[in-house]
Amino acid sequence: MTKRKELKQMALGSITAIAATALIFGGISRTVKAAEFGKPQTVPTSYSISYAGEAYDIAPPDYVRKDYQIKFAGKDQPSANDMTMEEAAELASQNLWRIFQVDLSGRTMEMTYNPNSPNQLRATWEAHIKFSDVLSYAFTLDAVTGENRSAAKQVYHQADIPEGMDKNLIKNNLEYKALAKAAAEKYEFISSKITSVEYISQGYQENQAGAKNADITFQVKSDNNEVAQLSFSRYNQELLSVEYGSWLEEAERNQKRMEQEAKERTPDIILTDEVVKKIQENGVPIR
C-alpha cells in the first residue's frame, strides 16, 4: 500500500490537495456488451462516429496513435449518453502524451466508469496505466462531454527524500511558481491570461519498497476566473499532476458539504473565560 501524507500548512481558503483524470470512432457500437468489459481489447484504428465530446478531440500535433490495449476494471457500466470506453481511452492516451510525453504502445489501460452520485455530480471515465512498481499514470475525464478532469504521474525514487515539509518553500517558492505558470500556459490548462499563482500545500509519498517522492502544489487562476491546480516533485521539479477547473469545483463543493455535515453533528461549544483559563493552565481538553 502506498504511504501518502498531505502536509497541512496551506493557503487560507484553498482546497486541500486530494490524493491520488474526443475522439470519434467508426464501426464501434455506442453500447459495449457486458461480456467484453472483463477482458483486454485492442483498440480499433479507424473512427468516424460523432458524439458530445467531439469538442475535446484536439490531438497534439506530434501525437501518433498508440497501439495499446484496454481493459474494463470496474463494476458500473456507462449509459447510452456516455462515450464508450474506447473513446475515453483514446482521449486519455492523447492527453497523457500531451502532458507527460508518455507512449502507451504495448501497454494495457485499465478503464473504470464512475456514475454520477451525490458526491460526484458528473459521471467520469478514469484510465490507469501501470508501467512498474515505481511508475504509473492516471487520467480522468467527463464521461459525457470528454472534458478533462485530472491527469497524474505517480513516480517514486530510491533517494534520500525528507518526509517532512520544507517550510522554506511556503514563502520562498518563486521558482516553483514560475514552473506552474509556464506549464499552465504551455499545456493550456487554462485558456485565458494568468493573473495569479498561489501556494496550496506540500505532500509526501512512499511505496511498499521504500521508494519516495515529495510534492508541492499551486493553484493557477486567470482573468476569466478559470482555475487549475498543479503539483510538482520537490525532488526533481517535474510536473506530477494537474486538476482542472471542473474537478476543483466539485472538490470544493464536497468539502463544503462535509464541513456542513460535521458542523451539524458537533454541538456548539461556548468558551467562557473560566474554561479558557482552565485549558491554558492545565491543558484540559474540551468535552
Domain end among 145, 175, 200: 145
Residue after which a domain boundary falls, among 93, 121, 145: 145
Phi, psi of 90 (to 5 degrees): -70, -40
Together in a domain, 131 and 165: no
Instruction: Name the pLDDT band for 270 (thresholds 50, 70, 90).
Output: low
Each residue's pLDDT tens digit, 160-179: 999 999 999 999 999 999 99
Residue 126's H or E segment, with its range, is: strand 124-132
Alpha-carbon distance 284 to 287, whole Å?
9
Residue at 109: amino acid letter: M
The answer to whether residue 253 scores a pLDDT higher than 60 is yes
Domain count, the chain: 2
Residue 214 backbone phi and psi in degrees, to 5: -140, 145
What CA dihedral angle connects 238, 226, 146 and 42, to 10 degrees? -10
Q: Which residue has the higher pLDDT, 37 or 278?
A: 278
Q: How far is it, in rounded angstroms, from Cα 250 to Cα 170? A: 26
| 17 in a structural domain | no
Predicted confidence (pLDDT) per residue in 143-156, tens digit = 999 999 999 999 99
What are the cell numbers at 244?
482542472
Whether residues 60 and 170 share a domain: the answer is no
Task: Please tell me whether residues 165 and 234 are part of one structural domain.
Answer: yes
pLDDT band at 273 (very low <50, low <70, confident <90, very high): confident
Which cell is 178 given? 514560475
Asked if 136 and 172 sit in the same domain, the reply is no
pLDDT band at 15 (very low <50, low <70, confident <90, very high): very low
**Of 8-12, 44-48, 118-122, 182-186, minimum mean pLDDT range:** 44-48
Percent of the chain with pLDDT over 90: 60
Which whole-number Å values give the CA distances from 50 to 1, 56, 100, 159, 249, in the listed order? 41, 12, 27, 48, 28
150: in domain: no
Q: Are residues 71 and 44 in the same domain?
A: yes
Q: Is 127 a domain residue?
A: yes
Same domain, 111 and 130: yes
Contact 86, 70 (CB under 8 A): yes
Closest CA to 116 of 145, 90, 142: 142
The pair phi, psi for residue 10, each rounded to 5°, is: -125, 165
Do 100 and 30 share a structural domain? yes
Please tell me whether residues 134 and 193 are part of one structural domain: no
Query: Residues 4, 50: one domain?
Result: no
Confidence class of residue 23 from pLDDT cuts 50, 70 and 90?
A: very low
Do 97 and 172 belong to one domain?
A: no
| Neighbour count for residue 149 (Cβ, 10 Å) | 22
Locate 44 and state its grid cell: 480499433
Q: What is the mean pLDDT of residues 70-99?
A: 96
In a domain, 225, yes or no: yes
pLDDT in tens, 208-226: 999 999 999 999 999 998 9
Residue 178 confidence (pLDDT) = 98
Distance of CA 287 to the CA centre of its chain: 38
182 within a domain of the structure (yes/no): yes
Q: How deeply is 59 buried, as exposed, middle or buried, from its count of CB atoms within 10 A (0-12, 13-18, 19+)?
A: middle
Rounded to two decimals, the pTM is 0.75
Q: Where are the beta strands (DSSP E) in 171-211?
A: 194-206
Look at residue 271 and tell me if it is in a domain. Answer: no
User: Does 174 share its domain with 83?
Assistant: no
Supply angle C-alpha 239, 243, 247, rounded to 5: 175
- pLDDT for 32 equals 32
Considering the domain architecture, whether residues 101 and 176 belong to the same structural domain is answered as no
pLDDT value at residue 121: 84
Of 128, 20, 137, 41, give the one whose Cα is nearest residue 84: 41
- Where in the sequence is the domain holding 163, given as residue range(s)? 1-12+156-258
Cα separation, 215 vs 157, whole angstroms: 12
Average pLDDT over residues 13-21: 37
Q: Which of 147, 162, 167, 164 is nearest to 247 (CA)?
A: 147
Residue 210 domain-assigned (yes or no): yes
Domain assignment present for 87: yes
N- to C-terminal Cα separation, the chain: 35
Specify the pLDDT at position 265: 79
Q: Last residue of some domain: 145, 168, 196?
A: 145
